[in-house]
Amino acid sequence: MLGGSARSAADLAAEMRREFESAVATRFGTQPQPDPVLGALFQAFAVQLERIYRESEYVFPVAVLDDLLNGLALPARLAHPAQTVVSFTNIDQRERLALDTELIGNAPAGEQIRFTIDASIEISPASLAFAGAFENGKLHSVAGARAGSTPILPNSTPLALRHAPPTLLFAFDSDAAHLSGLGLFLDVTSIESPLIEAVARSPWQILSANGAVSELGTLRARRGRGGVTTLVWNDAPREEDDDIAVAGSAMDEAANVASAFELSAGSYGRQCVVFPPVPPERRARSAPPARFAEALAVLLPEKSQDALNRPLIWVQVPLPAGLTRVADELQRVAMHAVTASNVEIYNERIQFDRMGSSVTLRPEGRTDQYLLGLLSVNGEKGDAYVNDASIAAPADAGRYRFRSGQLECRPHRQSTGRFDGYAMARFLFCDGARANGVDVGSLKRIASPIANVTAKVANLAVSRGGGAPPPFADARVRFAELLRTRDRVVTIDDVEITARAFEPRIKRVEVSTASELGPQGVRQVDVVDVRVASSDFADPESELPRLSMLLQTHLQQRVIMGRGVRVTVLNDG
């Protein structure tokens, strides 16, 4: 009677009414009179049936597919949070901000949007005393630094260093903790500026007490959470591949945000630089570098020309010799800055006697928020619940299962034999594309309690890059990809299937082979050109570079050992 899988409540109610009329005519030989009460019952029953049809068509297959994908270790495709850059001011003491530091701004439509910082930084009364760029025989001052209370305006002066490579130069006035954990924002003209790529691949050098470069003060950059440029000491053990995104700072263990959700590189990540902890033996200060000293005085305000004649922390970044337009690309430098993404931490109390042990996660009934990950589940006595798959936990431990937007709990049994009456769960959500377009200065409230009660925050860039997760149909394509390729990329067809499954909006895939010289010698590289239509993306300027990076990482993890992959995303209009 009720066949089909895409039937509305109205269709179902009409068919039930026809079946009822047919049954009455067959048994009694007459047509029934219209009955409004019976019609209301048919309609109510049809609404319930419609929900069952919808669940059988979508919810149940999604749950089964989710279990299969998890069992086969295929990474989930989640929503992308929007990203912006925030800077903290009015700071009166040094303080480390954890990854769960929440900030609140207003979207263009007026609703509140929550963000959390992407990397843990320290804020302090430190200030930027000078920021500049040397290029083509001239030293240029860059906006953002101050000589006392007077801002240093952009200017330039010639310097007798004609054949020296371009160099960024910074001076910091800081407390005893030096540059530990401080964040910088390099504001450039475009998110695809070649200057940012050069900065991420160049050494950062803290000058010694006599103004010289030393191994002890040299740092190198690697990509951190959200794409943030994270500096590490050059003599620290090198990771196997510095291009792989790292989960975040180990100093943020209080809120396991990084482990719950691996945040991919965003629009502004590479423009933010975070210094590591600086041990006492590396906390050098010096007078201005001798080769720049004379030009520096010319660039300072007229009444502050001796502002740099004191021990300061000098940092220089030598750039590739062929890099051009450095001074034009770098617009300003901001202190105490870091990227922030639209990741909202949501707490929910699950009352087992009222809500049951299985709940659908939808904060305040909203359907325009997307689940990113589970932070923790704790019982009423604070006992941490463990994943249902754990075999090491005691039999009476509280357990949970997290899949397809649902949390299923098995309450903890206490020593008295009593089961927990409730559990506290913490989740990560984002608003997707709804968080795009938060204007500069619209994010201005610190929601988390911090020691700097006078601190203020403001976003320095428009938020962008947010997007919804792929629909169920794309998940089915990805599962088919896994079956066809066995999670290995060997042939050209494998590359095309894997790329299309990773991003359904890809129109065409072209693969060629080249050779490149790497650290271990010459190796073969698969050059993958994928073509997309920019009209398919809400923010192509931000999303296409991210697609290129994520797809390259996805393919590199699956190709034959020893081969490389280079992905280029081309716009077909």
Q: Among 336, 363, 389, identify where a domain stops.
A: 336
Domain-embedded: residue 461: no
Domain-embedded: residue 541: yes
Q: What was the pLDDT predicted at 251? A: 43
- Give the alpha-carbon dihedral of 332, 333, 334, 335, to 10 degrees: -160
- Asked which of 24-33, 183-192, 252-261, 410-419 is least confident by mean pLDDT, the reply is 252-261
Q: What was the pLDDT predicted at 1? A: 38
| b/e burial code for range 95-126 (CB count within 10 A of at least 16 → b) | bbbbbbbbbbbebeeeeebbbbbbbbbbbbeb
Task: Let me know whether 423 and 480 are in one domain.
Answer: no
pLDDT greater than 50 at residue 254: no
Task: Let me know whether 372 and 253 are in one domain.
Answer: no
CA distance linking residue 400 with residue 420, whole number of Å: 13
pLDDT greater than 90 at residue 262: no
Tens of pLDDT, residue by residue over 339-375, are 999 998 888 888 887 766 666 666 555 667 888 878 8
CA distance linking residue 545 with residue 264, whole number of Å: 12
Higher confidence at residue 144 or residue 43? 144
**Biggest CA-to-CA distance, the chain:** 110
Number of Cβ atoms within 10 Å of the Cβ of 294? 13
Task: Let me know whether 178 and 325 are in one domain.
Answer: yes
Element of type H or E holding 22: helix 9-28
Task: Let me know whether 399 and 279 are in one domain.
Answer: no
- Asked which of 271-280, 402-411, 491-500, 525-534 is least confident by mean pLDDT, the reply is 402-411
Task: Let me know whether 318 and 401 are in one domain.
Answer: no
Q: Among 267, 302, 336, identify where a domain stops.
A: 336
What's the mean pLDDT in 489-500? 85
Task: Let me know whether 539 and 507 are in one domain.
Answer: yes
Domain-embedded: residue 83: no
End-to-end CA distance of the chain: 49
pLDDT greater than 50 at residue 250: no
**497 contact partners, CB below 8 Å, separation of at least 6:** 481, 484, 485
Domain-embedded: residue 414: yes
Q: Rounded to 5 degrees, what angle do the CA atoms 265, 266, 269 make?
A: 80
Q: What was the pLDDT predicted at 248? A: 41
Alpha-carbon radius of gyration of the chain: 29
Task: Let me know whether 227 and 304 are in one domain.
Answer: yes
pLDDT greater than 60 at residue 17: yes
pLDDT greater than 60 at residue 5: no
What is the value of pTM for the model shown?
0.76
Q: What was the pLDDT predicted at 513? A: 86
Of 251, 240, 138, 142, whose CA–CA distance to 189 is shortest? 142
Q: What was the pLDDT predicted at 160? A: 80
Tens of pLDDT, residue by residue over 292-323, are 888 898 899 888 888 898 999 999 999 998 89
Domain-embedded: residue 119: no
Tens of pLDDT, residue by residue over 140-162, are 999 999 998 899 999 999 988 77
Q: What is the DSSP string of 419-430?
A: BPSEEEEEEEEE
Q: What was the pLDDT predicted at 61? A: 63
Task: Let me know whether 294 and 152 are in one domain.
Answer: yes
CA distance linking residue 573 with residue 571, whole number of Å: 5
Domain-embedded: residue 138: yes
Domain span holding position 372: 348-427
CB distance 500 to 508 below 8 Å: no
Task: Let me know whether 17 and 153 are in one domain.
Answer: no
**566 contact partners, CB below 8 Å, separation of at least 6:** 514, 525, 526, 527, 528, 552
Q: What φ, ψ does residue 326 adopt, rounded to 5°?
A: -65, -50
Percent of the chain clearing pLDDT 90 (strictly above): 37
Q: What was the pLDDT predicted at 247? A: 37
Domain-embedded: residue 198: yes
CA distance linking residue 113 with residue 99, whole number of Å: 17
Task: Let me know whether 286 and 360 are in one domain.
Answer: no
3-state secondary structure 61-129: HHHHHHHHHHHCCCCCCCCECCEEEEEEECCCCCEEECCCCEEEEECCCCCEEEEEECCCEEECCCEEE
What's the mean pLDDT in 279-291? 92
Q: What was the pLDDT predicted at 52? A: 67
Q: What φ, ψ does residue 161 adopt, rounded to 5°?
A: -135, 70
Task: Let me know whether 247 and 305 are in one domain.
Answer: yes
Domain-embedded: residue 3: no
Number of domains in the chain: 4
Tens of pLDDT, residue by residue over 196-233, are 989 989 999 999 999 899 999 999 999 888 999 999 99
Higher confidence at residue 29 or residue 390? 29
Of these ranges, 32-41, 189-198, 413-422, the one predicted with the greatest mean pLDDT is 189-198
Strands (E) in 241-284, as ranges, are: 272-274
Token code pair at residue 382? 């604070």
Tens of pLDDT, residue by residue over 86-123, are 999 999 999 999 988 999 998 888 889 999 999 999 99
Task: Let me know whether 394 and 478 are in one domain.
Answer: no
Higher confidence at residue 465 or residue 397? 465
The Cα-based distances of 85 to 228, 340, 384, 571 in angstroms read 11, 6, 34, 27
Q: Among 427, 454, 481, identify where a domain stops.
A: 427
Q: What was the pLDDT predicted at 111? A: 86
